[in-house]
């Protein structure tokens, strides 16, 4: 099976948030091992992100704080998020892989970033929900700096992408679509949270038929792009929306993510597309989802 380029960084395996923490290195290890078995030539090692790119989203004081915690050997940042000595380098590597995948997409080759820590809960000046840096928004801002003015971010993680929403909800040049379980942590993402008309939240109950999730997200993408032609599509690809995940109650299977990718590529055939790994807490299932999406991006 041929896969789209999959960018990662070796330090992403060294970040640890604590004993028995669900966001563990085994998640990424399972993905990389599966890719090695399926199409080892797809794996690419990225360079760490530059601070210049990250500063388009996060202020220096926050970045300095993260670096200092790592330099001190790590520590707890919030009830769900912690760092060890390698976490800052892992975050830079994860964002670097996201930007390398963006480079590939802008060059005409859709790509995937297999990364941790994830990013879609990260706020302007605070970590949250296992996330340190807002990778999807950093990629969007980098693309805009290169002349891709209008960006569509589609988040199919089972948790609301509250960090992404907070970072873009006052900017009409970015449209944000998030389908997520409701009620569920982080207890945000109501349908009436519209930003400046650029936010399209799709709160959904657990345990519905997977086709209901597929059509609901696609309807929201249609609404978000009815009067908005994107120059780039960034997917926050969370696979905790898959059936059986430890932290969610959705019922999706790999073929449903493939259906979304196929629809996006058919509707926007000339628009660069990049997907960034977010949640997914059953490692083997996460690997199933990543490989399916990477094959669909090929």
Catalytic residues: 121
How many whole angstroms separate alpha carbon 163 and alpha carbon 123? 5
Name the residue among 279, 265, 205 with its Cα closest to residue 237. 279
SS3 content of the chain, % helix, strand, coil (to 5): 40, 15, 40
Nearest 5°: the CA angle 189, 190, 191 is: 115
Torsion over CA: 80, 136, 153, 123 (sign): positive
Terminal Cα distance for the chain, rounded:
10
Name the residue among 195, 197, 202, 159 with its Cα closest to residue 179. 202
How many whole angstroms separate alpha carbon 99 and alpha carbon 143? 9
Which three-class secondary structure state does DSSP give residue 203? strand
Please give the C-alpha separations between residue 81 and each of 185, 231, 252, 272, in angstroms, as whole numbers.
Answer: 14, 33, 26, 32
């Amino acid at each position: 099976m041929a896969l789209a380029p999959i960018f990662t960084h070796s330090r992403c395996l060294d970040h640890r948030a604590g004993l028995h923490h669900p966001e563990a290195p085994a998640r990424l290890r399972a993905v990389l091992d599966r890719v090695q078995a399926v199409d080892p030539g797809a794996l690419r090692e990225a360079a760490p992100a530059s601070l210049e790119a990250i500063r388009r989203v996060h202020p220096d004081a926050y970045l300095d704080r993260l670096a200092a915690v790592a330099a001190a050997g790590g520590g707890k940042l919030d009830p769900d998020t912690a760092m060890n000595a390698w976490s800052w380098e892992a975050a830079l590597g994860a964002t670097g892989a996201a930007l390398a995948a963006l480079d590939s997409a802008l060059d005409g080759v859709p790509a995937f970033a297999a990364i941790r820590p994830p990013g879609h809960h990260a706020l302007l000046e605070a970590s949250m929900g296992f996330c340190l840096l807002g990778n999807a928004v950093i990629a969007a801002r980098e693309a805009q700096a290169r002349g891709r003015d209008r960006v569509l971010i589609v988040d199919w993680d089972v948790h609301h992408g509250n960090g992404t929403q907070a970072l873009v909800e006052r900017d009409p040049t970015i449209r944000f679509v998030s389908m997520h379980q409701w009620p569920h942590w982080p207890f945000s993402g109501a349908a009436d949270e519209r930003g400046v008309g650029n936010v399209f939240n799709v709160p959904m109950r657990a345990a519905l038929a997977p086709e209901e999730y597929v059509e609901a997200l696609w309807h929201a993408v249609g609404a978000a792009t009815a009067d908005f032609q994107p120059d780039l599509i960034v997917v926050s690809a969370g696979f905790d929306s898959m059936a059986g995940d430890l932290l969610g109650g959705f019922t999706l299977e790999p073929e449903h993510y493939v259906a979304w990718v196929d629809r996006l590529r058919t509707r926007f055939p000339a628009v660069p597309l990049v997907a960034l790994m977010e949640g997914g807490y059953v490692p083997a299932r996460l690997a199933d989802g990543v490989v399916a999406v990477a094959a669909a991006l090929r």
